[in-house]
Every structure is written in structure tokens, then in C-alpha cells.
Structure 1
């Protein structure tokens, strides 16, 4: 090819006629949808084509470019190739392995400029790349997360639950408005299927369709979980964590926190408390009495060595009366000591028992049961456990002493406990005692507001110390300070 006449020839395209001023090619996929060139030479379309579904396009290259005027034909082998060089495989050695592990752990690629779709076709290891100096780098797709982190903090979407949090108390429907459950439509009966109002929507449901208990928003002015229907339970359940930490009884400051002689409430502990707040007050008052005894008459107090090694304390007020055969009934709470020396949240308990022996009279006793090991604490984690022991009691007026040692066993374990008490009344005797101690699940529910909370979660778990129990923790601190534990 001696001269250039506005034409170009390619050795890599053998179908191009080098002697024609125009070249022709057929394309089965060229249709009317493809754009037609309006510059750079002439394009001609024949009127009659050999194939009705094909077009013959002719294109003449422009003469403005001088790149083609070199006196020789174009050779495609001289064209520089942009494909990556793959003849160098990464060497598998300790340095490259450690580099890959470091990139996975830190999320940093040693060669960030490497294209994301670069792979090594000659290597079976597709997630490694090779650098210019021969080192191996990790492919960026390896450390790019394919899903959000598992522990990514989530924020509360207030707008999604605004209607629920700002809901007003409804007006309850009258019982005569329906003869059947508003969810399952089964008819109400006198004994087996009674009427129950949902506290959130005011509808009437059967017991099966309204068995859920939830804390209600602030405007309802209820601090204990209330009965709700299944539909309202699904709406309120995502908000229980917020409501437990804000409006539950455990999150409120104690209202009755004066336990000295100026308050008649502190003169005498009643044997039965109907709420956790009452149990906290009774336990605080009992601990205050023992602190006074430790300061005035140390030999009559609980030995400091026993109290210092205690893994938990059960504090109850029990009424006892009878002759030969005595009866006991009382309520209280149990609290455990954690590994760091702090005290756990309290759990409510009640006790009922019998005593047999040479005894007569009646008395009111404030018990402190020392749990000296973890086995004894786990015993109180049971829903119910039994205790069997022996003790002697003597009371005359406002001053009396009771000393007992017992063995306790439940479905969570067994343990040995020591019992100390101050009693009031007129009672004397030596007896063999048997008691049943059970956890008051309803009282715990009314206080904490969490229906899924167990006694093990309270005593051995990570339940935060409730704000309402601050008088109890203050009394414990004063007791241990008086005994110099």
C-alpha cells in the first residue's frame, strides 16, 4: 500500500476490501434502533439488499487524521493492551498470609487502587491480587461487609410509635355491647368464658384473647402491667423496654423512706406486705434495728464474720402463734451479693410453716436469714423450696431473741442457712420447724413491669438496682458499717 487515499486497511479484518474506496460489511443485529452516523464521511444504503433482514453499510474514513498516514498498513499486534498482566502468580509465604489476615481484621487493603473486578485467571485463589513488587494484596470484596454489623446501635424511632405513646385512656365499652369475644367471636359464658376489658382499647374479650400484660403509656397513669388484648399487646410490646425504665414502680423514687421514731409506720412491721415497696420499707426498718443493736450491744448482734461472708440475705417479718403446734405466716424479700461486692435487685417471697414442740404463746418476728454460699442463694431462685430446722425462741414484750439453723432444698439446689431475729410478743419454747418459701411472682411483676423476668435474672443476672430500693441499700451499708465488715 504505497499511498493513502482516504482509506484504511486492517490486517486483522480480512473481509475489508483494500482496493475499494468504500468497504462493506453485513450485520444481522443492526436495525433502525441504532443511531446513524451523520459525520466523518459518506454512508450509503443500497436500495435493494441481497437479504431482506440485513443492511449494507458503507463508510469512508475522513482525511483529517494523520495517524494513518505512515506508509504502512496497520498491525493490530502493535496496539498496546490494557489487560492486566496475569503471568505473575502471588507467592504463598508467611508474609503474604499475614498480610491477608491483617487486611481482613482491619478492613484495609494494601493496594486500594486495584480495580474491584480484578481477579487472577491463572490462579485458583480468586481473592488475592498481585502488586508490582510481587507482594500479594487482598481483593477489596473480601473485607467489604455484605450486611450491617450485628451490634450496630439502633435508635428509637419516636415517630413510628407516636400514636401509641401519646394515646389517651379509652372509654370502656359496656358489657351489653357484645355477647361474644371481639376477637375470637365465641359467646361469653358465666364460668368458663367471662368478659374482660382491654385496658388500652376498651374492647371486651375473653380470657384467652386478653392474657397479655403490658405497661401502658404515661397518660394512663398506671405503673403496673395491665391486661390488654392480643392486638394491643403487639402494639405495646416494642415499647416495654422504654416504659419499664421510665414509668414502672421500680424506676420511681421511694416515697416512704423515713424509718426513725418520728414515723409511726416504722414502729412495727406488719407480717404481710402487699407490694414490693412495703417489703423494701419493712426490710430497711429491720436492718436499722439490727444496726442499733450492733452499736449498743455488739454481742447480741449477728457475728461480723458470718455477715461479712454472706452471699445473700433474706429478710422477712413472720407472725407465729400456737401451743405445742404453732403456725407461721409472713412475707419479705431476698437479695444477693454480687462478685464485685454490690447488692442485687430484691425479689419478693412469702413463707408459711408449722412448728411442733414444747412451745406456747404468740410473737411477731423480724428474720434475717444469712445465705452463706451460692447454693443457698440458688435455693431462693426456685419458685418454691422447703426448709427443715430446729430453733429456740423467747420473747417478753418488745424484746425477744430467736435463733434457728435450717436446711433448705428446692428445684434449683439446696443450702445451709442461719437465721437471726428480733421478736416482740409473749412466747417461749423449743420446736422443730418446717416451712415452705415461695417466690411472689405477681409482686415482682407489679414492681418491675417485666412479665419475662425470673428470680434468677433478679438475683444472679444483670438487672439494675431499682431506684425505689435505695432505702434498702442505704440500710445495708449502715449495717455493714456498724459491724465494720
Structure 2
């Protein structure tokens, strides 16, 4: 029986236009795909040949297309069909299936493979695509927003270029309506038209959210998930991870940290120092029963000075413990307070606050909360001890905390303490790359563990290893 020459049709491949990009979610990726083509918006998968780099564009797919011959029914080769049936029944394909699977042109049963128990089945290449599906979010978004992701930093327009906002047309005024440049397009807008904050594409080399106009925000907002996971400070490897005497910053924690990276370093250093003290003198360690019941930890470095009336200021971070025993992402905090009582001197104290119960954790999810407690403090030189217990209350809840600390300085006294703790929203935004991230989402496990906080998690594991 004669064989008919078959022409493979490539009409099922969509035609892509890499020059024009449609901005917006749910957009089609092909231009006039024609009847019978299943587009991405309809839920159909796209498959690409091996070795195709989606960043290099998709226009080369058109080059592989060949003319389509319609209304041609292929003839059935009865000889090949009978040979295949006999091979399946007799099992003769078992020794040749592997060679046929490698693409041998002379094998008539190359589409068959045999399992260990002797059963025959179709090779996976017959019914499974050999290239990854375009349903992956990264591939879909890159195809849809290629123009945005590969954008170059603009040249800002001079301030004198426009005396009115380029969006709403309102005239600029010295005090009430100042000029602001959009970091993505370089245009000049008023404050009301540049409220959005977004991470920029890779070529901008910015790891913190930048001010953009409303139009640019609409273009950048769908890509924030990808940019946060690749460009934010939280996803970078920790640069400062040496915490011994060979590093000057390991000798003394400063009370004020300007970035989350330094707060992570301070907290890690405080935990490791405390672990060393507890190994040398177990009586000074936090009781195991208290640690087991901890729902979170707040780690701060606070400077305290004065006589009778003392002033306190310091920064730190707080982490919550999840139900499976793991730790949440850290949230930056600022603490200021006053103390009154028979006391005098100055000291620098590293505090470890054990949050007793979920209510105490919810208090730290507030933008601001207050604490009231009493404590006894004594410091002489590089070693000192402070023991306190306080009650904290905020708009998200209230709870009790136990405080353990190590002090440096010259201070003695007993006092009644009042503190105000605030969440550093700007510090969190610069670290995570999301200007609208809530503290509640950070502490309750909605945010992935940042790579930059790896030293902190190692120090926490050392603290709880003894349990």
C-alpha cells in the first residue's frame, strides 16, 4: 500500500507580536490567532520547542511554520498497524523500545515502551508536551509586560518644563501643591497624582519602593509580586553576618538602627551573646517553661539615662512563632519611654521580651501600643542585669511580657516604667519592597521568611535548641 506524503501543520501555534505589548491582566498574547487557536485568556496552554528562551521573544515561531494542506486524509498503512499489534501481543518490542524511544527512524514501534512487569505503554513524548507550559505566572507576565520589565531609567524633565501637573492640570504652589517626579516615566506631577509606591524593574537598580504617577502605578502594580521576590532587600543574602570579636560592630549594639538589615544583625548578636551567658551560668538563662510558652520574641537595644526621671529610646524587631514551631518574618519597632524612681546613671541594654500568649503578639501588630511596668536595674561596666515584667495594650489587643536583658554602663535604681512602642512602617516597606504591607500580615505568617534574615533564624534555633 502506498504512502502519502504528509505535511505537518503549524497553524496551532499562536502568532506573537513582540513589538506591541498589551498592558493589563487577562490580555491575549497573540495577534489575530485565527479560528481553532486556543488563546491564554481562554485557558489553553501554549507549548514551545526545546531550548526556547522566552525572554528572547516569540517571533521566531513564525519562521518554523509551513504551508498548510487542508482536506487531505492520511492513508492507513495496514502493514504497520498489523506489525504493531503483533509486537504488542508477542512482546518483541521490549528489546527495541528504548532504541526506538531515542528517535530511530527505522523502527515502526518507536512510540512504545515496556514497564518492569512486561506491560507495554505509549512513550510519554506521544501524549505529553516536551516544553514547559506558558501557564506559569512568570512567563505569562513577562509576555504581557515585556515592555515594562525591560524599560530603561528615564531622563527626568526639568522642573521648569511644566508649571502645572501633567495629569490633573492643577498649577503648582510652593506650600500646598509641590512638584514631584515620577520615577518610572520622569514626568512632573503633584502630590495627589503620585501617591503610589512601587518597586522598579531590574535596570533601575532600586531595591526600595519608589514614587510613581497613577498611570505608571497601574502598569507596575501587576508585576510587584515578581519584583518583590527578586529585587527587594528582603530577598538578598545577608551581608553582615560576623558576630565575634573580629568585627567592630559585634562589640556593641547601637540603640538606633536605620535599616532592617542592621536590626537583624543587632537581634542576632543579642541572642548569641545571651546564649553564651546562659551556657556559662544557667541560672541567668530564661527558664525553659517560659520559652516553651512563648508566642513571639521582641529584641531591642535601648539607651537609658537620667536621674530620678530617666529617658529611654531604642529600636529593634519582633517575630512571632507559628503553630508549627517556625518563625514569622520580622517587623521593625521603635521604643521610647520614661521612668521615675530612685535611680541615676546611664546604660545601654539589650532586651529580650518573651511575648506570653497570642494577645501579646496582637499588641505588637498595632501601629502603636503602650506598656506599663516596674523594674529593678543595676549595671557596672560591661555586665549588668535587668529584670522586668510589664503589661502591654494596643488597639489590636493586650498581653503580658517577661523581659530579660544584659546591660552595659553605670546605672543603679528601681523605677516605674512607661513605654510607647511604634511599628516602623517605612522601615518594613523599604525592606520588603511593599509600601502597603501590614504588620498583621508580617507577624501572622502571611509573608515568606526573608533570605536576609537567615542569621536571625539561626540564632533563634540556637536559643531553642536546649528545649
TM-score by length of 2: 0.70
Aligned equivalent of 1:394, options 375, 378, 402? 378
Return the alpha-carbon distance in structure 2 between the equivalents of residues 193 and 391 of structure 1: 49
Tell me by how many angstroms 1:294 deviates: 1.2
TM-score by length of 1: 0.67
Partner of 1:180: 164
Partner of 1:430: 414
SS state of the match for residue 412, structure 2? strand
**Over alpha carbons, which structure has the higher Rg?**
1
Matches within 5 A, 1:327-406: 327-406=311-390
Partner of 2:183: 199
Tell me by how many angstroms 1:451 deviates: 2.4
Matches within 5 A, 1:21-32: none
Return the alpha-carbon distance in structure 2 between the equivalents of residues 408 and 228 of structure 1: 38
Identify, as 1 or 2, the structure richer in helix: 2
> What's the CA shift string for 1:351-402, capped at 9, x where partnerless?
0000000000000010000002111111111111000000010001110011
> What's the CA shift string for 1:450-478, capped at 9, x where partnerless?
22321111111321111010000001111
Partner of 1:218: 202
SS state of the match for residue 245, structure 1? helix
Matches within 5 A, 1:82-121: none
Return the alpha-carbon distance in structure 2 between the equivalents of residues 153 and 456 of structure 1: 29
Q: Report how many aligned residue pairs link the two structures.
A: 332
Return the alpha-carbon distance in structure 2 between the equivalents of residues 238 and 467 of structure 1: 23
Return the alpha-carbon distance in structure 1 between the equivalents of residues 142 and 368 of structure 2: 42
RMSD of aligned Cα (Å): 1.1
Question: Bigger CA drift: 264-273 or 459-468?
Answer: 459-468
Return the alpha-carbon distance in structure 1 between the equivalents of residues 141 and 311 of structure 2: 55
Partner of 2:441: 457
Aligned equivalent of 1:250, options 202, 216, 234? 234
Q: Is residue 164 of structure 1 aligned with residue 164 of structure 2? A: no
SS state of the match for residue 266, structure 2? helix
SS state of the match for residue 259, structure 1? coil
Partner of 1:419: 403
Contact 2:329-2:445 at 8 Å conserved across structures: no
Return the alpha-carbon distance in structure 2 between the equivalents of residues 221 and 153 of structure 1: 25
Tell me by how many angstroms 1:157 deviates: 3.4
Tell me by how many angstroms 1:153 deviates: 7.2
> What's the CA shift string for 1:166-211, capped at 9, x where partnerless?
1111111111111111111111111111111111111111100011
SS state of the match for residue 270, structure 1? coil
Structure 1 residue runs of 5 or longer lacking an equivalent are: 1-151
Matches within 5 A, 1:309-324: 309-324=293-308
Return the alpha-carbon distance in structure 2 between the equivalents of residues 410 and 178 of structure 1: 46
Return the alpha-carbon distance in structure 1 between the equivalents of residues 266 and 435 of structure 2: 25
SS state of the match for residue 140, structure 2? coil
Return the alpha-carbon distance in structure 2 between the equivalents of residues 162 and 241 of structure 1: 15
Tell me by how many angstroms 1:480 deviates: 1.7
Tell me by how many angstroms 1:304 deviates: 1.8
> What's the CA shift string for 1:221-244, capped at 9, x where partnerless?
000000001111011001000000
Aligned equivalent of 2:432, options 433, 440, 448? 448
Partner of 2:450: 466
Structure 1 stretches of at least 4 aligned residues deviating more than 3 Å after TM superposition? 152-155
Return the alpha-carbon distance in structure 1 between the equivalents of residues 285 and 396 of structure 2: 31
Partner of 2:211: 227
